[in-house]
Amino acid sequence: MFKEIYKKIEEYDTIVIARHIGVDPDALASQLALRDSIKLTFPNKKVSAIGTGSAKFYSIGKLDKLEKEDMQVFAKKVAAAIKSAFPCIKVGQAVIGLEVPHAHIHLIPIQKESDMLFSNPKLKLSAEEFKEIAEKLQSNCR
């Protein structure tokens, strides 16, 4: 498993490390340690640890902020994978984040503009369908 992870890290020039929602000291410390280990091992890679922090864990370390340009580069790669994996005319993008001070980039395969409406009924997919979609995106993201 370690060799597989190492090979994946070698493949990419930019690496973004995220963790679960609801920061706790173990998750934050692990995330920052992984970021710093990769930076030490691969000094020419751009490595970021992102997410929401907590003032009470500030002494553990500081998370990185991704610039809009970095997010757009990533979004373009994922959008290309979506367009390759799913029949669509284009991939629409919406940047939204209302509940807390953050934003999500939503990339949506669309046939028409109304496909972008968040009031549309949500798709109901099985675990197997989610897995199939993830595999399609992974194979098209290379």
pLDDT in tens, 34-67: 999 999 999 999 998 888 777 788 788 888 877 7
Let me know whether 52 and 104 are in one domain: no
Let me know whether 88 and 134 are in one domain: yes
User: Global pTM?
Assistant: 0.59
* pLDDT for residue 137 is more than 80: yes
**DSSP state, residue 39:** H
Let me know whether 56 and 107 are in one domain: no
pLDDT in tens, 90-117: 999 988 766 656 667 889 999 999 999 9
Q: Which domain-ending residue is among 42, 60, 78?
A: 60
Q: Extract the tokens encoding 87.
A: 């029949």
> For residue 20, what are the domain limits?
2-60
Cα–Cα distance list, 113 to 79, 85, 88, 92, 108 (Å): 16, 19, 12, 8, 10
DSSP string spanning 91-112?
EEEEEE--SSS--EEEEEEESS
| Cα 31 to Cα 63: distance, rounded to the nearest angstrom | 9
Let me know whether 72 and 55 are in one domain: no
